[in-house]
Every structure is written in C-alpha cells, then in structure tokens.
Structure 1
Amino acid sequence: MKIALIGFGNAGSKVADEIFRYEQETGRSLSRYVVAINSARSDLAKLDEIPTDKQILIGQTDERVKGHGVGSDPELGAEVTRRDLQELERALDGVPVYDIDAFLLVAGLGGGTGSGGAPVLADRISEMFDEPVYGLGVLPSKDEGGRASFNAARSLQSFVDATNNLLLFDNDAWRGHQDTVEAGYERMNKEIAARIGTLLAAGNIDESEVSENVMDASDVRRTLDTGGISTVAYAETDLESETRQSQGLLGRFRGNGTGQETDTAKKISGLVRQAVQSRLTCPATVSSAERSLIVISGPPGEFSRKGLESARRWVEQQTASIEVLAGDDPRASANHVSAVVVLSNVTDVSRVDQLQEQAVDAADNIEDQASTREEDIERLIRDDEGRLDPL
C-alpha cells in the first residue's frame, strides 16, 4: 500500500520519522509523500529523517503559541490548526494522489497539538481527497497523569469520527519497567514502525519478489473499511544459519520433501498464533474483531501455503468471523520471518474503558477545583477581618 504519511504533533512526528526510517532500512517504498506538522519549533528540529522542507510549523501568528507549542491544550491545538488550514492545504497540494492508496495520519493523543489538530486535519483531507484517511493514535500511559488521559479520551472520539479507521498503540502495554522515558519512547516507536511497515508493504511492487499469495492495497483497505478502532499483532523469528545460506532459492518453497514442508507450515502457523496471543499494539478481546488480515514477510523459501491457510482458519476461529484475508510479502534478503495480524473494528478494548474512567475522574477534579478556586484565592489574599483595603 502506497501512502501519504503525516506526523502531527511531537509524538506523531517522531513516530512518522521512525516509520520513514524503517522503510529505508528495509528497502520498502511505501511513503510517496511525507510531512511533519507541529506547533513547537524545537520538536521539529529533533527529527532525523523527514526533510526540513517537509516540516510545517503551525500557530506562529498566535500570541499564545509563537513556535513554542500549545502547552498540552488540545482545544488550542485544534484552533491553531483551523487557523492555518490554508497553509496545510497548500502543502497537501504536493501529494501525488495518482500514486497513493491512502493517507496515514499519526498523532499522540495525550498532548495538545496532535490530539487537537489531527482530527481537524483528517476531516479536511477527507473533504479534499477520495482516498481513505487512516489514523494511528498513540495512547498515553497512566503515569502521564489525569490531564493526558482527559485529552486522549476526548481526542479518541474525534479521531475515530474523522478517519476511516483508527489504529491504536497503547504506551502502557509496551513501556518497559527498566526503560528511561526517552529510551522507552524510542523503543516503542521502533515497535510501531515494524508493525506498520510490514502491514503496508503487502502487495507493493518494489525490488522484492512477486508474492505467491497475492495481496494488494485493496485487501488492506477492505480490512480497514469497517471503521472504528483496530489493533495490530506481530511476531518474528530469526532464520536458522542453513536457511540464511540458501536465501533466494525457491526450492524449499516448492517442496524438498514432505517433512520439511510440514515443518515450514507449522512454523508459519505457529508464528501467527504467537503474534495474536502476545502483545497487541492495544490490548483487546480478539473475538470482538469484525475483520482480520494476515501478512507473512521474509525470504520466500520460508513461506508455506499450507501454513498460511492453517493460520487463516485459526484466526477465523478466534474471531468467529470468516472475514479473514491472508498473504505474503517476499523479502529475499531478510534475516527473519515476521507475521503481522490486523484485528479491525475491535469493540471490546479494556484500555479505552479505563481511559474514559480516568478522564471522567479528571473532569470531575477540574470542575471541583474550578468551583472553589476563586474562594481559595480570596481567602489567601484577604485578611480575616477585612481591615486591609487594596491599593
């Protein structure tokens, strides 16, 4: 699938930067257009891969922003995005619509610029173009506090409504206990990039070999056409040394003995099960998915039609749905085999329920504090007997 990749806000731009890096490192050609949008000049300067001429600073004329960010205020983020929509529209004129299948708009939902501005831009893109707009939203961890949860719960509603499908990544599910904050985010961004890059590479015609089990952009689009929220499963396994030596040879794929073929089939089927049963990008009840898609990526000699069919039947059983598509992405030079499984339109997502509960509690605290704030201030600055008059 060929995309126009847009990073919005600090977290969204960093994730988009990592996806763009992953494409180049793995020889994939997915992003026909890439841009990073932010209200903080210093955050844009931290990007490594997205060129400076593809970085857009919004809110420069707003006296509350002036290149320093919106201070985790999503309403201000939405406001400056609407104000600068004409500039963003001019940038989008450069999108080669004849050569893309979809837009991918990436944003962190706990801050201000991305959580407020990304849904606004998604709406505008849908008005300007016929191609679907997919969102990739990053949920804040619980440690980031009530404000981040409050922002994310509100942004989530707007982002789902504004996109054809919203892929979720939950920081809480991926943050390592030993990670520093910076190292944790860097590692999580790499995890996101591997999953999204493997998913979108299916069916692309680049320097890779032609797929045996053909899958193209229409299969990805069909899976994500459900709308709602989706989560992505992923697992990989390194190649054995003897397999590395024979990379590029298709003999094993075409059958070098029933026993070997059976082993390969079990390996592929087991890899898909491992993916679904391990960490999803956002934890969800697998059986609540409406549609699913499986992509196997790696040297073609490691593929197995029987294994892929077995995996597809297993996912059908787990989701209680026959809407399961499966295909492969041959990469002759890859040093591992990976499986990515998209579970589209999941409706039982405990993390979203928890997020909403946190947000409601945060909203109640905000209201309680606001109702007593003026009285507290008066009590602080006035003397008890009222004998002192202000100057």
Structure 2
Amino acid sequence: MEHDDHGFSHAERVHEDHRNAEHITSAIRHAESGVHLPRGEAVKLAVVGVGNAGCRLVNQILEAEQTTGRNLCNGNTLLINSTEPTFDATAHVPEARRLTIGDVYWEADGTDIDGDPDLAAEIAREEKNDIIRAFDHIEFHEVDGILVIAGLGRGTGGGAGAVVIDHLKAICDEPVYAVGVLPADSEGEQEALTAARSLQSFVSKADNVIAFDNDAWLDGERPTGGALDNRPEDDTADDEAPPSRPESDGSGYAAVNAALAERLVALFAAGEFREPSAEEYRMDPSDIIRALDTGGVSTIGYASFDLPQPGRLRSWVRALSDRFAWIPEPSWASATPRGDEDTPTDAAKINRLVREAARSKLTLPCEVSSAERALVVLSGPSKTVSRQGFEGGRYWLEKEADIVDVMAGDELNERATALTAVVLLSNVTDVDRITEIQETAVEHQQSLRTEGKQYGTARSE
C-alpha cells in the first residue's frame, strides 16, 4: 500500500481531506458564534466550590496550579458552604472568599441541612443577596467562564449548587460550567436519589457538566475519612460512623480529588505555556469552549509518561543555551534528538498515548462513540511532539468516537518532564453509571413512598 510523505495511505488521505473540509465549515460556524480567544492564551475561569466536596476540590485545583506551574483561575475563587469546614479545605483560599449560608438557621434550632437538597436550595434562594455580594470577589471581566464544583450526592452541593448556577447566569454573560461528583454505591441510596435529581438540575442549568464518578475511582471501597459533602463531623458525628483517617484534604477522598484536579487543570489551563512556535497543530484554547458548547454531560481522559532527563552537566549546558540564544547547544547535551524529522518510535509513542488517554479511566466511564464532540490536547517539549503520531492518534479518535468534529492541538512546554495527552469527550449519552444511579433512585423513592415518607427535589424552581 502506497503512503504519502506523512505516512498516510490513499484512503486515509481522502478521509483527511474530507475532515479538513468539515473543519473549515465548523470553523466558520464557530466564528459566527463569536467564540474567540487570542491564540496562545489559555482559558481563564473563575472557580466556585459549593458544599464540602466542592470546597475541597477548589483547594486541590489551587494546589495543582502550584505544583504544575499552570494558571487556571488566577485566584478567582469562591467557597460557599452551609457549615464552617473543620478540615483543611481552605488552605489556598482567603477568608474573604468564603461564604457560609444558613448559619442563622443553625443558631436558631441547632440543626443543619443534613443532606436535604430542598432545604439547601431554599436557603440559597433566601440568601441570594449575600451570595450576589460574594460574587463581587470574582473578576468577571478577566474570565472566559465560571466553573461551579459540587458533590451531587449531598444537600449543599446538589441543592444549593443548582441555585448558585442560577444566580451566576443571572448576572454574567460568560458560560457557566459545572463539575459534578457522583456518589459511590457504598455511600447510600439516598445519596443516589439526591445525585440523580441534582444531575438533572445541573444539566438543565449549566452550559456543560463535567462528571466524576466516585464509584469508578474508589473501586467500590468506602473512603475511611467519612467526611462526605455536609456529612456531620467532629462532635456531631454519628457514633457508628467509620473512624476517620488523616488525609491531606481532611477527607477520605484526597487521592481521587487530586486526580480530578490534575485533569481539570491540564484541560482548562492548556495554552498557559506559550513557547515560540510555528507548529501546525498549536493549541487554540477557544476550542475548549467550542467543545463544551454541546451542553449535556462530559468526561475527561488523561495519560502521560515521563521523559528521560539529562544529567546535571547536560541540564546546566541546556539551561545556558535556552537563556542565551548566542550560546550553541552541543549535540551531546540534548535529552532527545533534535530536528523536525519524526521517527517511527516517536510517532508510535504519541499515537499510543492519545489512545491510552481515551481508553483510560475516564472521569466518567462511558461509551466513547456516544460523544458529540471531542478535543485532544498534547503537551510536552517540542522535540517529543511527533506531528505524524499526533495526527494518527487524532485520526484514530475520529474513527473510535465516530464523529468528525474532533478538535486537537499541541501545547509546547520546553520545561516539561513528561508528555501528556488530555481527551475531552463532550455530551456523552451512553453512560452506564448514570443509568445505575437513576435506577437506584427510582427504587429508593418507591420505598420511601411505601413507608409514607416524602423526599423533595434539588430543583431551584
């Protein structure tokens, strides 16, 4: 079979030409919609955490920013909770950016939300003015969108979170996205019922909902921290609750929270590193917004591998060469071969990395082919980014997802010590986990009715 200079067969090249034509049409459509960010500038989001889980995740995102050197929100954060957190969920968030709602009620009768999303939604509506005033801390003119993060299985996150989205959409023109954390089976049937209703509410209100499935990431084991969203803590904790174990974020979810934060930062902060380059596939951050224009529920895949590092002398020589352009870099100082030519090994690694990201443990496991749009971002030093391998991975994703609208770009970061691929699958519709939660919710609601009990919804209206 004959191949062209880029390694494509005739059939693949025909498909590539057709895809390019489709992308031109898509680009015209997106241009007419007014979505535009200067190329090379990353998307900037304000991040609002609602409930215990949301507060922890905002803290983890800020920690991930410090670790990676990326900048997703530039300090534009806000925490909204129904109780004053006793864990270290606010380490990176100033006190002025924390709002406690419902405290008047707790002082009056000594109770709290106790997982009731209707009560949380009612309080968030009644304290609208306080929430709107708290929004003054967000620099709306500096952001391209808002990211509301909440655990959907508990009262404050699921109930108040939906109302917070309403309040935000009423005062700003930027898109409001959400990150919704689904409870594990072991967290209980009532949490499943709350999550099913909260997810429906979030999807109807937010411009897109990126979901994270605790059940898949916790491998069916209940975290020993016992500090779920709004679950009682300290002196008010249930005597029969499992003993707590110290974690870096005060809950039993430290590892999974860190994994989600890593993926969110890798996706939304893509384009933060702006290296001079004429790469054909350079990342266009506007594509992230375009990919999320579908609405619905989305999921993120992630894969990376560490790159071989040069010795101390090589690092010193390369640092001098990078800082002073007039100092030539000896060939022996390169960690990887220089030049524009792709080697079969490099291309194969990149292709495999993209496939691994799409096939990895997604934030929400789903059928890849059910996605409406897809976005793939490759990040690493320019010498490790193979155009042929990247395009091959993109071509594979188009066939695997069975969609034409696969946006892609690379982010060249010469200081990176790893090569990473992030895949966003937008508006996925074939999701077994959501079906399972909905079935559990229906069964639990029927049992409540049999017992003569009622359980409201997490709707804001």
TM-score tier, shorter chain, comes to 0.7 to 0.9
Say what the alpha-carbon RMSD is for the aligned residues. Answer: 2.6
Higher helix share: 1
| 1:201 maps to which of 260, 263, 269 | 269
Residue 145 of structure 1 is matched in structure 2 by 188
Residue 11 of structure 1 is matched in structure 2 by 53
Separation (CA, whole Å) in 2 of partners of 1:68 and 1:261: 65
Residue 385 of structure 1 is matched in structure 2 by none
Q: Which runs of 5 or more structure 2 residues have no equivalent in the other structure?
A: 1-42, 226-246, 323-328, 455-461
Residue 318 of structure 1 is matched in structure 2 by 400
8 Å CA contact 2:275–2:413 kept in 1: the answer is: yes
What TM-score, normalized to structure 2? 0.75
Deviation of 1:243 after TM superposition, in Å, equals 9.5
8 Å CA contact 2:59–2:92 kept in 1: the answer is: yes
Separation (CA, whole Å) in 1 of partners of 2:350 and 2:394: 11
The 3-state SS of whatever aligns with 2:452 is helix
8 Å CA contact 2:82–2:156 kept in 1: the answer is: yes
Deviation of 1:63 after TM superposition, in Å, equals 4.4
| 1:306 maps to which of 381, 388, 405 | 388
Residue 384 of structure 1 is matched in structure 2 by none
Instruction: State the AA in 2 paired with 1:271.
Output: L
Deviation of 1:45 after TM superposition, in Å, equals 5.9
Residue 420 of structure 2 is matched in structure 1 by 338
Separation (CA, whole Å) in 1 of partners of 2:73 and 2:107: 34
Residue 132 of structure 1 is matched in structure 2 by 175
The 3-state SS of whatever aligns with 1:93 is helix
Deviation of 1:11 after TM superposition, in Å, equals 0.5
Separation (CA, whole Å) in 2 of partners of 1:51 and 1:195: 24
Deviation of 1:127 after TM superposition, in Å, equals 1.6
Separation (CA, whole Å) in 1 of partners of 2:201 and 2:350: 38
Distance 1:124 1:360, change over 3 A: same
The 3-state SS of whatever aligns with 2:343 is helix
Residue 35 of structure 1 is matched in structure 2 by 78
Q: Which runs of 5 or more structure 1 residues have no equivalent in the other structure?
A: 373-391
Instruction: State the AA in 2 paired with 1:3.
Output: L
Deviation of 1:210 after TM superposition, in Å, equals 4.5
8 Å CA contact 2:310–2:335 kept in 1: the answer is: no
Within-5 A mapping of 1:1-391? 1-32=43-74, 33-43=76-86, 46-63=89-106, 69-176=112-219, 180-182=223-225, 184-204=252-272, 208-210=274-276, 212=279, 213-242=281-310, 256=339, 258=341, 261-370=343-452
Separation (CA, whole Å) in 1 of partners of 2:61 and 2:389: 29
8 Å CA contact 1:40–1:68 kept in 2: the answer is: no
* Cα-to-partner distance string for 1:157-212 (whole Å, 9 max, x where unaligned): 000011000000000110146785336510000110111000011223x5x52563
Instruction: State the AA in 2 paired with 1:344.
Output: S
Instruction: State the AA in 2 paired with 1:202.
Output: A
Deviation of 1:98 after TM superposition, in Å, equals 2.2
Separation (CA, whole Å) in 2 of partners of 1:243 and 1:321: 44
The 3-state SS of whatever aligns with 1:42 is coil
Instruction: State the AA in 2 paired with 1:345.
Output: N
Instruction: State the AA in 2 paired with 1:209.
Output: E
Deviation of 1:6 after TM superposition, in Å, equals 0.5
The 3-state SS of whatever aligns with 2:415 is coil
Deviation of 1:39 after TM superposition, in Å, equals 0.3
Deviation of 1:313 after TM superposition, in Å, equals 0.7
The 3-state SS of whatever aligns with 1:106 is strand
Identity, % of aligned pairs?
40
- The ranges of structure 1 where at least 4 consecutive aligned residues each deviate by more than 6 angstroms after the TM superposition are 64-68, 246-254
Distance 1:305 1:66, change over 3 A: farther
Distance 1:64 1:321, change over 3 A: farther
Separation (CA, whole Å) in 2 of partners of 1:253 and 1:127: 52
Distance 1:237 1:178, change over 3 A: farther
The 3-state SS of whatever aligns with 1:137 is strand
Separation (CA, whole Å) in 2 of partners of 1:69 and 1:2: 35
Separation (CA, whole Å) in 2 of partners of 1:110 and 1:243: 49
Separation (CA, whole Å) in 2 of partners of 1:264 and 1:176: 34
8 Å CA contact 2:209–2:295 kept in 1: the answer is: yes
